[in-house]
């Protein structure tokens, strides 16, 4: 299936110079949506998937019911969206194409998943890879974490990046690839 035929482009939205990629048309195309979720599932190699609100949730959550491997979805949320116990919430400053921002995750959400050996491996899923600031910031933060579970300490490691759409001309390939391999289903090259 050619996913480029499903997405829509909105030039200069939300501000001049931004080419907004709308993936919501997948939500009205059952065949394309099911195929995309299956392709995401085939690309995931970790029982734990970390995903960014809100569009990432739409495509990662079905993995809990359709995937034989995926056991845990770890949400990344905006400020004020995750209730937390003391010491549980992590604040990550990211650089988006629109400017700096902050996102948050909870260590308890990672700990609810399944470790492999001494590591909680995570597959990072998001809808769009533009400048790479969100993915790199979150992954670098996660890779510094340690989870203590039943008296044992576990490392956290992003195993791979998976995106629906990638703008390969906009991000620092070396920075992301130094963290983990990158997989995308649609590449939008510059003019």
Q: Write down the pLDDT at residue 172.
A: 84
Instruction: Go through 42-53 and write b for each residue having 16 or more CB atoms within 10 A of its CB, e for each that does not.
Output: ebbebbbbbbbb
Distance CA 105, CA 99 (A): 20
Q: How is the chain split into domains, by residue range?
A: 3-186
The token pair that represents 128 in the structure block: 């769009």
Q: Which of 105, 123, 121, 112 is nearest to 155 (CA)?
A: 121
pLDDT in tens, the chain (191 residues): 899 999 999 999 988 888 889 999 999 999 999 999 999 999 999 999 999 999 999 999 999 999 999 999 999 999 999 999 999 999 999 877 667 889 999 999 999 999 999 999 999 999 999 889 999 999 999 999 999 999 999 999 999 999 999 999 988 888 899 999 999 999 998 75
Q: Which CATH number fits domain 3-186: 3.30.300.30, 3.40.50.880, 3.40.50.2020, 1.10.10.60?
A: 3.40.50.2020
Q: Write down the pLDDT at residue 20.
A: 87
Strand partners, 184: 163
Distance CA 149, CA 111 (A): 7
């Amino acid at each position: 299936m050619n996913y480029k035929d499903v997405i829509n482009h909105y030039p200069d939205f939300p501000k001049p110079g931004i080419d907004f990629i709308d993936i919501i048309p997948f939500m009205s195309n059952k065949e394309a949506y099911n195929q995309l979720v299956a392709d995401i599932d085939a690309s995931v190699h970790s029982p734990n998937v970390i995903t960014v609100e809100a569009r990432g949730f739409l495509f990662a959550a079905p993995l809990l019911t359709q995937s034989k491997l995926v056991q845990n979805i770890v949400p990344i949320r905006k400020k004020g969206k995750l209730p937390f116990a003391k010491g549980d919430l992590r604040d990550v400053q990211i650089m988006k194409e629109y400017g700096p921002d902050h996102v948050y995750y909870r260590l308890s959400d990672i700990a609810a998943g399944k470790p492999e050996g001494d590591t909680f491996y995570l597959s990072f899923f998001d809808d769009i890879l533009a400048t790479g600031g969100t993915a790199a910031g979150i992954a670098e933060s996660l890779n510094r974490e340690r989870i203590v579970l039943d008296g044992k300490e576990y490392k956290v490691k992003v195993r791979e990046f998976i995106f629906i759409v990638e703008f390969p001309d906009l991000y620092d390939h070396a920075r992301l690839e130094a963290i983990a391999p990158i997989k995308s289903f649609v590449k939008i090259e510059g003019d």
